[in-house]
Amino acid sequence: MRTKNDCVYACWKRMHVRCYDRTYHSYHRYGGRGIQISLDWHLYANFKMDMWDTWFKGATVDRIDNNGNYCSENCRWLSKSANKKPFKYDAQEFLRLYNSGMLQKDIGRPYGLGQDRVSKIIKRARRG
């Protein structure tokens, strides 16, 4: 049976893989778009000190601001179901980028979204 320490450490390790392992299948959604881990959190002991007390069984680490880095001010624990969002993005930001002249394929690239999906998001954002 996995201990609390095993689970918290595994979350910390996966966070590093997402941000720094270019071979990770979703690297483009994390490190590939500039998401980093605070220098303090490069040491497991610091991550553990900040996050240990609020951890619960089945929790995954979540960034409150999806465009922000992994750090104590921007992270919390969520259940897997609460954290399982198909995409974390700001539709109004997509609309703003599109209106500024950015191509839909370029808007979607950091999120792994194709032009067709970005087009639908922008249409929904226009409706309000």
Check residue 26 and give its pLDDT. 84
Q: pLDDT digits over 38-72, tens only?
A: 999 999 999 999 999 999 999 999 999 888 999 99
Beta carbons of 75 and 62 less than 8 angstroms apart: yes
Instruction: Express each pLDDT in 1-49 by its tens digit.
Output: 889 999 999 999 999 999 999 999 888 889 999 999 999 999 999 999 9
At 49, list the tokens: 């000190």
Q: What is the pLDDT of residue 111?
A: 75
pLDDT of amino acid 83: 75
pLDDT for res 86? 56
In the chain, where the domains are located = 4-83, 91-127
If phi over 0 gives left and psi between -120 and 50 gives alpha, with beta otherwise, what is residue 101? left
Question: How many angstroms separate the CA atoms of 112 and 61, rounded?
Answer: 21
Show the beta-strand stretches assigned E in the chain: 59-63, 75-79
Task: Name the pTM for this structure.
Answer: 0.67
Averaged over 67-82, what is the pLDDT? 92
Q: Which residue has the higher pLDDT, 87 or 104?
A: 104
